[in-house]
Amino acid sequence: MLNQLQFHGLGAVVTGAAAGLGRATAQTLAGLGAHVFAIDLDAAGLESLARELGEAACTAIAADVTREDEVQRIADQVAGSGVVLKSLVNNVGANFRSPAHELQLADWNKYLGLNLTSAFLVTRALLPRLLAAPRGGTIVNVSSARGLIGSPSTPSYSTTKAGLLGFTRQLAAEYGDRGLRVNAVCPGLVLTERIAARGIGPAEERLRERVLEGRFAEPHEIANAIAFLASDAASYITGVTLPIDGGYAAR
């Protein structure tokens, strides 16, 4: 099994890779031998990641994954690299708090594009290469516990993250007979650098009380599960939604 977790120079595209969960995922996959194509708008964060991982393990691509032309540029760069693409991790996403009756259409459309349409655009652009991957390509979509459980004042976030789960099942059903495996993870509370820097607020403390383990996840704990699903060690797992929430959804 340990050998099946290795990527042996195969490529993995990770969106939202400059910080937080995406950065941890890029680090984990690179540690397992993948060449990571790290995608983000944060050029400085990408440069830092690329220096950390080294040129042999990481190609940084600053791009806006909500724009079709930018996504095509990503696909062209991956294709021209000579690296065989094995995996895609759709990790881009952001929350926006507003009650549904106050949410403006412009904000709804913005987060629909960021959280859901971006995954469609990147997946569509990379599908030909993923379908040609040795032993089958893999996609892991990063949803959220809020894609499983409703939460006040998060209509755009909860809805788009739930939509990502539907997209996961659709892709698994459509391309399973061609060797493509598609799964999703639903992280709960994750102690990212951003949260650690600003401190844990009262709302997050209340959420933590619902977690059976009584704590936030570390980013690498989510990244480990993503790497497993992306690897050949999970060769008979597809169309699955995996909550990684310390038991939050069990209550």
Instruction: Enumerate residues 6+ apart whose C-beta is below 8 A from 165.
Output: 141, 143, 147, 148, 184, 186, 241
Which residues belong to the active site? 157
The stretch 149-174 carries a mean pLDDT of 90
Question: Which of 81, 74, 77, 89 minimizes the C-alpha distance to 9?
Answer: 81
The continuous run of DSSP H or E covering 241 comes out as: strand 241-244
pLDDT at 1 over 70: no
Q: Which two tokens stand for residue 144?
A: 């959220």
CA distance 91 to 140: 8
pLDDT of residue 64: 98
pTM over 0.85: yes
pLDDT of residue 157: 86
Cβ distance 184 to 142 under 8 Å? yes
pLDDT-derived band at 50, boundaries 50, 70, 90: very high
pLDDT at 131 over 80: yes
> What are the structural domain ranges in the chain?
2-243
Residue 100 CB-half CA count within 13 A? 7
pLDDT of residue 204: 76
The stretch 57-80 carries a mean pLDDT of 99
Q: Which two tokens stand for residue 186?
A: 């639903």
pLDDT of residue 145: 87
The stretch 183-191 carries a mean pLDDT of 92
Percent of the chain with pLDDT over 90: 71
Mean confidence (pLDDT) of the chain: 93
Q: What is the DSSP letter of 81?
A: T
Percent of the chain with pLDDT over 70: 99
| CB-based burial, 237-246: b 16+ in 10 Å, e otherwise | ebeebbbbbb
CA-to-CA dists, residue 4 to 24, 43, 223, angstroms: 20, 33, 17
- Give the alpha-carbon dihedral of 136, 20, 28, 70, to 10 degrees: 40
Tokens 């570390």 locate to 218
pLDDT at 216 over 80: yes
CATH label, 2-243, candidates 3.40.50.720, 3.90.198.10, 3.30.230.10, 1.20.1250.20: 3.40.50.720
Cβ distance 165 to 147 under 8 Å? yes
3-state secondary structure of 33: coil
Residue 80: Cβ-neighbour burial (10 angstroms; 0-12, 13-18, 19+): exposed
pLDDT of residue 2: 62
Q: What is the DSSP letter of 16?
A: S
The stretch 168-172 carries a mean pLDDT of 99
